[in-house]
Amino acid sequence: MPGLRRDDWPLEDPGGQAPAAVRRIRDEIRARVESLLAAEGWGPRPK
């Protein structure tokens, strides 16, 4: 789509990984999303 911003996050495939590795991958995704939200100024609206 024209004007659409896209980030490519190279991540390990969690398939077949041990639970600890899956948690690490999950935490990495969470940190990246939180960073993106903060950088874009997106977040909960004040009540």
| pLDDT per residue as tens digits for the range 3-38 | 888 889 999 999 999 999 999 999 999 999 999 989
DSSP letter string over the chain?
Answer: -TT-----------TT--HHHHHHHHHHHHHHHHHHHHHHT-SPPP-
pLDDT for the residue 14: 95
44 against 20, higher pLDDT: 20
> What pLDDT band is residue 43 in, cutting at 50, 70 and 90?
confident
pLDDT for the residue 7: 85
Amino acid at 28: E
pLDDT for the residue 6: 84
pLDDT for the residue 28: 96
